[in-house]
Amino acid sequence: MKMVAAAVFAVLTLTAHASSATPIEKVLQMLGDLEGKIIKEGNDAQKIYDEFAEFCEDRSRNLGHEIKTGKASVNNLNAGIEKEVATSASLSAKIEELASGIATDEADLAAATGIRAKEQSAFAAEEKELTEVIGTLERAISIIEKEMGGGASMVQLKSASSVAQALTIMVQATSISSADGSKLAAFVQNSEEDSELGAPAGAVYKSASGGIVGTLQDLFEKAEAQLEEARKSETKSVQAYGMLAQGLKDEIKYANADMAKAKKNLGAAQENKATGEGDLAVTSKDLADDTSTLATLHQDCMNGAEDFQSETKSRGEELHALATAKKVITEATSGAADQSYSFLQTSRSALSSSVDLANFEAVRFVRDLARKQNSPALAQLSQRMASAMRAGGQSADVFAKVKSLIKNMIENLLSEAQADATEKAFCDKEMAETQAKKADKEATIEKLSTQVDSMTAKSSQLKGQVAELQKELASLAGTQAEADKLRAEEKGAFDVNSAEMEKGVKGIQLALKVLRDYYAKDASHSSADGAGSGIIGLLEVVESDFSKGLAEMVATERSAVSDYDKLSKANDIEKATKDQDVKYKSKEAKGLDKSTSETNGDKATVQQELDAILDYYKGIQGRCIAKAETYSDRTARRASEIAGLKEALSILDGEAVLLQSASKHMLRGVQHHA
């Protein structure tokens, strides 16, 4: 800014003869313009910062919403997983309870069936006995009533032996009560006594026979009533058993249906749990990324706010310095300016005419401006102006031609500024829209890539777990096979060794028996108290050792069998568990692979769209960015050139103050349009 002010001061010094304003006034005016420019920059910066602050607020709010949603999703997924775990535990307990109930019902059904069979057998025996008793009673009553009609005695009856025998059988029948049995026994005894002593009187026998018939008739009715009661009881028992059996069978049927449904629900719950865990991993990663992005955003926004405050403070200090400079210049240079510039104007008016001096100053001004701006076009213009002046001398046509050259140059610069402004608006719009589309597609691809990576990692992990489980199952099968082989070898060795040991024990015991029997018979033998007793004692020690060895061998075999059974059972349980894990993990990995393939297809489609956007973005960059000079630099340079050319016109017209004010108005219009 100090260099620009110095250049303007020099130009104003050279052109003071054509204007009523002094260089000091020009400096003050430039300081005022600079203050206005700084204030405008501050307003523009404030607008940009307001937009930046709004972006920070919107982005922070959106990220906060995403984080809140992510946390809610994580909580929901955790709750869902816990729910599935609880459901699995509940269903497992229900399956165990149903299995226990089915076993109990089946046991009750078997027990009821056994009891029914026993009851049926007892009823058949009772029915058979009562039927036989009723038949016998019918025959006995018929015989007695028929034979008693002739007044014959019991002994005289043709069928007396049959009746007595029938009475005897009925006395022994289990269905006859003790009182009735006593009566029948008395009748039988009397009949036997009569057969030995002779027949009683007819009246006496008639009375006795009448009593027998009555008793038999009572027994007949009781037997029929008892048979009917037994049949009723059997019918009730059959009905009760049928109802009980049908109820138990229904309970078993429904329990099996409930168990199948519970097992199906258990599988679904375990599958939902696995899916929920996969979704939880993806959602947790997204939540962590959003949290990290929010922290970075807060830091960037704070840095932007600090930079804005620093720039605002710097502009305030610069404005204060400019105001101070204006005050110092105004208060300290008024007298010196009057003396210096009034003398300079008088001297210059004596040296040359106004037209000659104006042309000379205009050419010099344009040449200096071309050198400062490093502009080939302005340098060429200054040369053309100088050539026109040398060729035409001091004529009015030359002055008009120079002005025309400057005006044409200004129009060309304005046209370029308009074209550049249109191109800048197009580039800004297309670059912003393309960058937004590019960012959106890249974010989508990143999200899909994250999902693919997560599902691929999860599938790979599951496949690794399945491979590890299969390796463990193979190792488990090898362990079981080795245990089976070792058990067979141990069993074979035990069979051989135990047989030999038992044979040895029996041989020792037989030898001891022989020696003991021998020495017990011949106690006077010379070796009975010597070598014989020593041999027996030694054999007893050997017998004890053999028996102890056999007992230890049997105990070792039993322990080995118990350990083998425990190992086999544990291996069976472990194998069933690992087979189930392999089944569910393989199913989940297959589902993840399918989802990964679908997501890769979506990703490929988005990638094609992104490639098309990148191709277009590359072309836009080549058009809008890949240039040696930026738009802002071109705009500033062109504005400076236009301002300088207008200043040159003011020199030529001799109305510097008026034209300078007009040129600044046009410059602001060009800057605003740009």
3-state SS, one letter per residue, for 371-399:
HHHCCHHHHHHHHHHHHHHHHHCCCHHHH
Chain centre to alpha carbon of residue 167: 91
Q: Which residue has the tokens 């009034």?
A: 342
**Residue 205 contacts by C-beta under 8 Å, 6 or more apart in sequence?**
151, 153, 154, 194, 199
What is the 8-class DSSP label of residue 200? -
Which H or E run includes 53?
Answer: helix 23-148
Structure confidence at residue 198 (pLDDT): 46
CB atoms within 10 A of CB 51: 10
Q: Give a yes or no: residue 299 inside a domain.
A: no
Looking at 620, 642, 666, which one is the last position of a domain? 620
Q: Give a yes or no: residue 222 inside a domain.
A: yes
Structure confidence at residue 496 (pLDDT): 92
Q: Give a yes or no: residue 185 inside a domain.
A: yes
Structure confidence at residue 366 (pLDDT): 73
Chain centre to alpha carbon of residue 69: 16
Q: Is the four-CA dihedral 314, 317, 319, 322 of positive or negative sign?
A: negative
Token pair belonging to 234: 């059997």
* R_g over Cα of the chain: 64
Q: Give a yes or no: residue 70 inside a domain.
A: no
Separation of alpha carbons 388 and 381, rounded Å: 11
Structure confidence at residue 485 (pLDDT): 92
- CATH number, domain with residue 465: 1.10.287.950
The pLDDT tens digits for 614-670 are 888 888 877 776 454 566 766 776 677 677 677 766 766 653 333 344 444 444 443
Structure confidence at residue 657 (pLDDT): 39
Selection from 162, 119, 116, 113 nearest residue 142 by Cα: 162
Q: Are 441 and 609 within 8 A, CB to CB?
A: yes
pTM of the model: 0.32
Q: Give a yes or no: residue 671 inside a domain.
A: no
Structure confidence at residue 484 (pLDDT): 93
pLDDT beneath 50: ranges in the chain: 1-20, 151-162, 171, 174-175, 192, 194-209, 335-353, 525-528, 626, 628, 655-674
Separation of alpha carbons 178 and 141, rounded Å: 20
Selection from 432, 453, 435, 434 nearest residue 289 by Cα: 453
Looking at 595, 620, 645, which one is the last position of a domain? 620
Token pair belonging to 224: 């029929």
Token pair belonging to 431: 């670059």
Could you write out the three-class secondary structure of 11-35? Answer: HHHHCHHHCCCCHHHHHHHHHHHHH
Q: Give a yes or no: residue 329 inside a domain.
A: no
Selection from 223, 230, 51, 231 nearest residue 141 by Cα: 223
Separation of alpha carbons 581 and 476, rounded Å: 15
The pLDDT tens digits for 192-249 are 454 444 444 444 444 444 567 788 888 888 888 998 999 999 999 999 999 999 999 9
Token pair belonging to 410: 């200004």
Q: How far is CA 435 from CA 215, 468, 609, in A?
A: 123, 48, 13
Looking at 275, 310, 338, which one is the last position of a domain? 275
Torsion angle of alpha carbons 217, 218, 220, 221, nearest 10°?
120
Q: Which residue has the tokens 């007009």?
A: 662
Structure confidence at residue 358 (pLDDT): 57
Could you write out the three-class secondary structure of 535-558? Answer: HHHHHHHHHHHHHHHHHHHHHHHH
Separation of alpha carbons 139 and 159, rounded Å: 11
Instruction: Say if residue 159 is exposed, middle or buried (CB neighbours under 10 Å; 0-12, 13-18, 19+).
Output: middle
**Residue 305 contacts by C-beta under 8 Å, 6 or more apart in sequence?**
49, 53
Q: How many domains does the chain have?
A: 2
Q: Give a yes or no: residue 255 inside a domain.
A: yes
Separation of alpha carbons 225 and 130, rounded Å: 10
Q: Give a yes or no: residue 506 inside a domain.
A: yes
Q: Which amino acid is at 576?
A: A
Q: Which amino acid is at 38?
A: I
Structure confidence at residue 350 (pLDDT): 36
Q: Are 643 and 664 within 8 A, CB to CB?
A: yes
Selection from 17, 13, 19, 32 nearest residue 660 by Cα: 19
List the domain range (segments joined by +) for residue 497. Answer: 435-620
Angle at alpha carbon of residue 347, lines to 346 and 350, rounded to 5°: 90
Separation of alpha carbons 671 and 674, rounded Å: 5
